Chains A and B, each alone.
Chain A
Amino acid sequence: MASSPAQTAVHRIEIGVRPEHRDARGEHVAAQAREFLHVPVERVRTRDVYHLEMALSAEELDRVVEELADPIRQEAAVGRLEGEPFDVAVRVAFKPGVADPVGKSALVAVRDTLGRDLDEGAAVYTSTLYLLDGVDRAEAERVALELVANPIIQTVSVATAAEWRATTPDLAVPRVESHEAPAARRIDLSGTDEELERLSREGLLALALPELHAIRDHFRRAGETERRRSAGLGGDPTDVELECLAQTWSEHCKHKIFNATIDYREGAGEPERIRSLFSTYIRRVTEELAREQEERDGASWLVSVFHDNAGVVTFDEEIHLVYKVETHNSPSALDPYGGAITGIVGVNRDPFGTGRGADLLVNVWGYCFASPLWDRPLPKGLLHPKRIRDGVHWGVIDGGNQSGVPYGRGWELFDHRFLGKPLVFCGTVGALPVTIAGRPGERKAAAPGDAVVMVGGRIGADGIHGATFSSAALEESSPSQAVQIGDPITQKMMFDFLLEARDRGLYSAITDNGAGGLSSSVGEMAETPGGARLDLARAPLKYAGLAPWEIFLSEAQERMTLAVPGEHLDELLALAGRRQVEATVLGSFTDDGFLHVTHGEETVALLDMEFLHDGLPEMVLPARWETPRFDEPDERTADPGRTLVELVGRLNLASDETLARHYDHEVKGLAVVQPWTGVQADVPAEATVFLARHGSLRGLVLSEGVNPFLSDLDAGAMAASVVDLAVRRQLCAGARLDRIAALDNFCWPDPVLSAGTPDGDLKLAQLVRACRRLYATCRAYGVPLVSGKDSMKNEAVLGGVKICVPPTLLVSALGQIDDVRDAITLDLKSPGDVLYLAGTSDSHTGGSEYYRLLGERDGREPEGGGPAPYVGTRPPELDPSATLPLYRAFHAAVRAGLVRSASAPALGGLGVSLARTCLAGRLGATIDLAACPGAARLEDDVALFAESNGRLLFSVAAQDATALEELFDGLPLGRVGTVRAEPTLAIHRGDREVLTVGLDALLESFKGGLAHA
């Protein structure tokens, strides 16, 4: 190297923990390798490796090394760090183009340390070195590939100590090599239908034949126009146009199935035509409820629904609440950590992009996985469910914690059918100021002439085709570029800037760059003014070489698009500069009816806005319902005590506290009823309560209902049940019945009948039934559906076998409580308190956790892709005309201050509900089944473990019993027992003992079920 003081080169710095200090990360990897891979590793030490690509003098390099390492705990060296011997070294580095947030922060540190600007192109690349003792090369490779690295995003190199010593330190960096950008191309659509379909498939466009025909015909006509000719375009679409249409029309963005015309028939009955499930059921319930309230009260509490990134409801005089839940299933299957962190920071942008921008309040998460204890061969191309589970958790943990947003709800369900595709639900509640810069906060409108400004991260090839990819089934050849990795810190800094800009009124509209990137955000915002013109050559890129369509479609994270009026543009750009957030003017909004995209001087897209948004041909789909037949168990349980102990420890019911407590649930200082509650704060709350702002006692209440197991019998019963459960949980926390809003998230297997999906019509019938009952139940309970999302291809074809998820509807409820100090929790409070069960128990054992336990006991296996036995025959029913009076009476009891604890029996039935309330209070109870309404007709195990809806289990002080019973006069209410100090749950029927179990046995099972997962 020349002796000039500074020269661009790659400098490698290695940092390790001093031998006298613990290497907690290394110890963690070693423990996981031993426990889960059964690799007999003795010790793992880790090193952080930084490759600095920049011109540095020797003195500067020394200074940087000193700054990067912790002088107390770490040691550092340029090149390699000499240290104790090891057997095998594993180095894990990112592939080119994968986001490296740590490298980005390190670059800031280097710049601060040197006190000077670095050359354009200076970069820091991070990697991790694992030094393993007690293993051979093959074992180290397993640790690398099955535990610490994911080849989709990372490169792994393994070297024995001898090989390591024989080489010089690796100075290669995963730089994306720049090359000349390809120009926009014209796509010839004149081919045969087969050729068109191949074009769609191979190009990952996910466009169906009628859609391709519509596009072809449209451009043939448009090619005749002067506008198109003078722009140098003809009768074929450009790749930019076709890609933009494909993503705008994707299932992910257009909800084609929810808007399709459906011919539904039951058995051999007459078909019934449904024009759009969305309009007929989902939108309708919300509009009917709003109209009803407007007629009654003069105004609805719904502020903005169905036309923004998330729904907005009234909360108090200062803020509205905004809520959105999304799924990020396919990316999480490929790269669990990256997919999930992108899911959570991505859904943060929905409330942030609603109205003119909401402050983020609380996150929620929920996951459906295959068992993390899976011990059978895995189909090729799949990660082990434990890796998916751990990776998803840590992605959302890091994403939420680093963004400074607490979590309010978290749940997990397990079923073998989630092996092919996990379901990863992430959501965020936001607080939208009622008034922003003198105007209603929910109003957003780009005006012609407003600048199109992109804010935040730069554009790379990451996440291209995310929207169309998520609308397709997962296959072995699924592309790695569909994976993005969210960087919460970049986003947090962008949000801090945007909140300042918002409060100063510097922009007129905002939306996020999520699926479809700029094509989607600009396309959507341009609807109001009626057009936009933008130049892709102005967009800041991470590296050169992106084609125009890639720039337009990229889903590179942490970006928002603004509409900025001319008079505020300078101030906005200056503020961005001060906050070190990149903001770039890409063009302006227009009113000429066209989305006009150039790359420099060349027009690369000239899309008619009307065709873009309304040109999609409607689908007509068949749906056919046949009542399924499943087995009842031959014999049921003789030992309900043992069954109850086993039930509370089943994967679906056991404590996941050891993972859940890694999520922050208190940042912002607003948590009131936390996700873990009770004497030892170790039982999950059924609903949580948060303040929405400092200085007010009004609270928001979060709960949800989800139960995919019921869909095997009837997705309609499933939908009714999950709405009922979400509402019961709200009530049990003390929420008002008249201020509950809900979100609907559908995750379905492909419901479109085709050669590859011969039962598509049945799956669509399940969707129809779910929507109908969702409508009916929400209508009866007065619960509007304010946001929702659907994900329709949740299946995987692996090794020729198709694995479909069970139809899953998550109903996420957002309720309100006038004074958080009136909140109720589920833990039993004092010996002597009286326990009541409101609502009727029935033989609703179908799809119950109890039946699955019996199936496992009998050694029954699922058949094909079917559900785990036993499924049974009778799913829970729901009659809102019977349950509503109960709920009103219960809420009156809450308002009267009578209710001391409350729980909504659900999975595992009354038995599990009793066990959890006892555990939470560390108090026992004696219960008489004979006193439970409806139980006289039921055998003991059915009364205990059936999952009937509409029930509330609660306690009151003995002296309040009379007052309580008066409120429930004429309703099905049973005084079922008494709270005891003795730590035992004792259940009898009349004089006959049914079961007696100690809390210690219940606790051990509850905490043990997922302890080794």
Chain B
Amino acid sequence: MSDARVAAFRDLPADELARRRAAVRVLVITGLGLNCEVETAEAFRLVGATPEKVHFLDLLGGVAPRRLSDYPIVAFPGGFAFGDHLGAGFVFANKIRWRLYDELVDFIGGGGLALGICNGFQTMTRLGVLPGLDGDYRTPRATIAPNDRLGYWDCWVRLAFDPQSPCVWTRGLAPVDLPSRHGEGKVLLESEELLDRLEAAGQVAARYVDTAGRPTQQWPANPNGSPRAVAGVCDPSGRLFGLMPHPDAFLYPFQHPQWFRRRARGEELPAEGGGLAIFRNGVDWAAASDPSG
């Protein structure tokens, strides 16, 4: 599918647009120590989709009303699944690997979209779903290591998006400030060559940048020491995307750490928080490609 199709979708009349977006059901996984499900669901709701929070154990047990493959989008929210004991996302990813992997790979093969934020990104990476090279979504080729400066750290960072990236979630986005909140965010590939390959393929969809917009290794703009300022990674199809910073915590314009200074300068605040554009991209992609729409 092309950007043109999304653009055409966005040109639909407002009520048609709203109807088509609302038809996009988003599975937001909850439970087991995840804790950003409310704001992640709210983000999808604010861009017009229909999020459904489902406890992971209900998904596993088949108790949930729908299965993974019934959704066009799955969101792995932030949090501390199993306390990140043994490593960020480890125990949760392990549960998926042994209990839900085939369904997940089917979902991906069926054209599903996935967004992993922070703990969700760590989990997707630990599974091998990201970077998902050569159609292999089962072999981990990367890891997300402890920050160079030890410990969880909460500060705002600026992200720039690779305009050449196939990532459907970040297409056409200008740089955005987002809160970064993690203790393990340093993205390490199996090898230097693999990182070269990822960059060449546009799979490094998001990078930490300095105030001049250049990728940076400087702390705290790059909060974890991630080589080549990698902040977010997509799979080759661009439908699966994970990132460390939290677009789900910048839903409203008055959440930016400088919003009151802009107000004081007489600037009008933007209509929405800078994080929402990422969610809208994913939802519109799914809506535009829904044949039933």
Identify the closest chain B residue to A406 (Cβ).
B154
A489 contacts chain B at the CB level, 8 A cutoff: yes
Question: CA separation between A261 and B283, bound complex, in Å?
Answer: 66
Question: CA separation between A109 and B82, bound complex, in Å?
Answer: 10
Contacts A102-B86, A112-B99 given; does A666 touch B33 at CB 8 Å: no
Contacts of A487 in B (CB 8 A): 83
A105 contacts chain B at the CB level, 8 A cutoff: yes
CB pair B140–A669 under 8 Å, yes or no, is no
Contacts of B142 in A (CB 8 A): 72
Contacts of B260 in A (CB 8 A): 673, 823-825
Sampled A-B contacts (12; CB under 8 Å):
A102-B86, A112-B91, A402-B80, A404-B79, A493-B33, A578-B61, A579-B55, A669-B36, A669-B38, A671-B255, A681-B258, A823-B260
CB pair B261–A679 under 8 Å, yes or no, is yes
Contact of B152 (CB < 8 Å), options: A21, A67, A489, A664: A664
Interface segment, B3-11, B103-111, B233-241, B246-254?
B246-254
Interface segment, B12-20, B21-29, B143-151, B159-167?
B143-151
Given contacts A661-B155, A694-B38, 20 further A-B contacts (CB under 8 A): A22-B148, A25-B146, A73-B143, A109-B90, A403-B35, A487-B83, A489-B33, A489-B83, A492-B33, A496-B31, A579-B57, A661-B153, A663-B152, A666-B181, A670-B39, A673-B260, A674-B257, A821-B254, A829-B261, A830-B265
B95 contacts chain A at the CB level, 8 A cutoff: yes
Question: CA separation between A662 and B188, bound complex, in Å?
Answer: 22
Question: CA separation between A296 and B17, bound complex, in Å?
Answer: 50
Question: CA separation between A38 and B52, bound complex, in Å?
Answer: 55
Which residues A662-712 have CB closer than 8 A to chain B? Answer: 662-674, 676-677, 679, 681, 691, 694-695
Q: How many A-B residue pairs have CB under 8 A?
A: 184
Contacts of B250 in A (CB 8 A): 669
CB pair A105–B85 under 8 Å, yes or no, is yes
Contacts of B84 in A (CB 8 A): 402
Give, as a whole number of angstroms, the nearest-CB distance from A65 to chain B.
Answer: 12
Give, as a whole number of angstroms, the nearest-CB distance from B85 to chain A.
Answer: 4
B264 contacts chain A at the CB level, 8 A cutoff: yes
Contacts of A673 in B (CB 8 A): 260
A580 contacts chain B at the CB level, 8 A cutoff: yes
Question: CA separation between A628 and B179, bound complex, in Å?
Answer: 50
Identify the closest chain A residue to B31 (Cβ).
A496
CB pair A830–B86 under 8 Å, yes or no, is no
What string of 1s and 0s marks CB contacts (under 8 Å) between A63-106 and chain B? 00001101111000000000000000000000000000110111
CB pair B154–A666 under 8 Å, yes or no, is yes
Contacts of B85 in A (CB 8 A): 101-102, 104-106, 489
B94 contacts chain A at the CB level, 8 A cutoff: yes
Which residues A384-406 have CB closer than 8 A to chain B? Answer: 394, 397, 401-404
Which residues B174-216 have CB closer than 8 A to chain A? Answer: 179, 181, 188-190
Identify the closest chain A residue to B128 (Cβ).
A71
Question: CA separation between A681 and B238, bound complex, in Å?
Answer: 35
CB pair A105–B151 under 8 Å, yes or no, is no
Contacts of A728 in B (CB 8 A): none
A27 contacts chain B at the CB level, 8 A cutoff: yes
Contacts of A67 in B (CB 8 A): 94
A24 contacts chain B at the CB level, 8 A cutoff: yes
Considering residues A72, A104, A397, which has the most beta carbons from chain B within 10 angstroms of its beta carbon?
A: A72
Contacts of A493 in B (CB 8 A): 31-33
CB pair B98–A669 under 8 Å, yes or no, is no
CB pair B78–A667 under 8 Å, yes or no, is yes
CB pair B99–A496 under 8 Å, yes or no, is no
Give, as a whole number of angstroms, the nearest-CB distance from A817 to chain B.
Answer: 12
CB pair A679–B258 under 8 Å, yes or no, is yes
CB pair A27–B94 under 8 Å, yes or no, is no
Question: CA separation between A101 and B249, bound complex, in Å?
Answer: 28
Contacts of B156 in A (CB 8 A): 681
Question: CA separation between A423 and B34, bound complex, in Å?
Answer: 31
Identify the closest chain A residue to B38 (Cβ).
A668
Question: CA separation between A662 and B180, bound complex, in Å?
Answer: 11
B63 contacts chain A at the CB level, 8 A cutoff: yes
Considering residues A25, A113, A578, A664, which has the most beta carbons from chain B within 10 angstroms of its beta carbon?
A: A664
CB pair A665–B152 under 8 Å, yes or no, is no
Contacts of B126 in A (CB 8 A): 70
Identify the closest chain A residue to B247 (Cβ).
A669
Question: CA separation between A735 and B95, bound complex, in Å?
Answer: 47
Identify the closest chain B residue to A70 (Cβ).
B143
Contacts A73-B145, A402-B33 given; does A662 touch B57 at CB 8 Å: no
A827 contacts chain B at the CB level, 8 A cutoff: yes
Give, as a whole number of angstroms, the nearest-CB distance from A821 to chain B.
Answer: 5
Give, as a whole number of angstroms, the nearest-CB distance from B283 to chain A.
Answer: 17
A951 contacts chain B at the CB level, 8 A cutoff: no
CB pair B82–A105 under 8 Å, yes or no, is yes
Question: CA separation between A665 and B260, bound complex, in Å?
Answer: 18
CB pair B254–A672 under 8 Å, yes or no, is yes
Considering residues A68, A664, A669, A681, which has the most beta carbons from chain B within 10 angstroms of its beta carbon?
A: A669
Give, as a whole number of angstroms, the nearest-CB distance from A581 to chain B.
Answer: 10
Question: CA separation between A679 and B249, bound complex, in Å?
Answer: 20
Contacts of A823 in B (CB 8 A): 254, 260
Contact of B261 (CB < 8 Å), options: A488, A580, A663, A827: A827
A28 contacts chain B at the CB level, 8 A cutoff: yes
Question: CA separation between A68 and B90, bound complex, in Å?
Answer: 8
Contacts of A70 in B (CB 8 A): 87, 90, 126, 140, 143
Considering residues A22, A113, A827, A900, which has the most beta carbons from chain B within 10 angstroms of its beta carbon?
A: A22
Question: CA separation between A833 and B151, bound complex, in Å?
Answer: 40
B170 contacts chain A at the CB level, 8 A cutoff: no
Question: CA separation between A106 and B146, bound complex, in Å?
Answer: 19
Contact of B257 (CB < 8 Å), options: A21, A579, A677: A677
Contact of B153 (CB < 8 Å), options: A496, A662, A670: A662
Question: CA separation between A4 and B57, bound complex, in Å?
Answer: 34
Q: What 7 A-B pairs are tightest by C-beta distance, nearest first?
A: A404-B35, A669-B39, A105-B85, A72-B143, A829-B264, A489-B83, A102-B85
Question: CA separation between A115 and B101, bound complex, in Å?
Answer: 13
Contacts of A580 in B (CB 8 A): 57
A455 contacts chain B at the CB level, 8 A cutoff: no
Question: CA separation between A820 and B269, bound complex, in Å?
Answer: 13
Contact of B249 (CB < 8 Å), options: A68, A403, A669, A824: A669
B30 contacts chain A at the CB level, 8 A cutoff: yes
Considering residues B78, B140, B181, B250, which has the most beta carbons from chain A within 10 angstroms of its beta carbon?
A: B181
A108 contacts chain B at the CB level, 8 A cutoff: yes
Question: CA separation between A681 and B153, bound complex, in Å?
Answer: 14
CB pair B154–A109 under 8 Å, yes or no, is no
Contacts of B261 in A (CB 8 A): 679, 827, 829
Give, as a whole number of angstroms, the nearest-CB distance from A110 to chain B.
Answer: 9
Give, as a whole number of angstroms, the nearest-CB distance from B188 to chain A.
Answer: 6
Give, as a whole number of angstroms, the nearest-CB distance from A782 to chain B.
Answer: 28
CB pair A24–B83 under 8 Å, yes or no, is no
Contacts of B99 in A (CB 8 A): 112
Question: CA separation between A846 and B37, bound complex, in Å?
Answer: 50
Question: CA separation between A403 and B33, bound complex, in Å?
Answer: 7
CB pair A667–B188 under 8 Å, yes or no, is no
Question: CA separation between A112 and B60, bound complex, in Å?
Answer: 12
Considering residues B30, B154, B246, which has the most beta carbons from chain A within 10 angstroms of its beta carbon?
A: B154
Contacts A70-B87, A669-B249, A827-B261 given; does A663 touch B154 at CB 8 Å: yes
Question: CA separation between A71 and B263, bound complex, in Å?
Answer: 49
Identify the closest chain B residue to A699 (Cβ).
B254
CB pair B82–A489 under 8 Å, yes or no, is yes
CB pair A115–B98 under 8 Å, yes or no, is yes
Question: CA separation between A404 and B265, bound complex, in Å?
Answer: 34
CB pair B255–A669 under 8 Å, yes or no, is yes
Give, as a whole number of angstroms, the nearest-CB distance from A457 to chain B.
Answer: 14
Contacts of B258 in A (CB 8 A): 679, 681
CB pair B39–A662 under 8 Å, yes or no, is no
Contacts of B80 in A (CB 8 A): 401-402, 404, 488-489, 492
CB pair B146–A113 under 8 Å, yes or no, is no
Give, as a whole number of angstroms, the nearest-CB distance from A116 to chain B.
Answer: 11
Question: CA separation between A587 and B214, bound complex, in Å?
Answer: 65
CB pair B98–A113 under 8 Å, yes or no, is yes
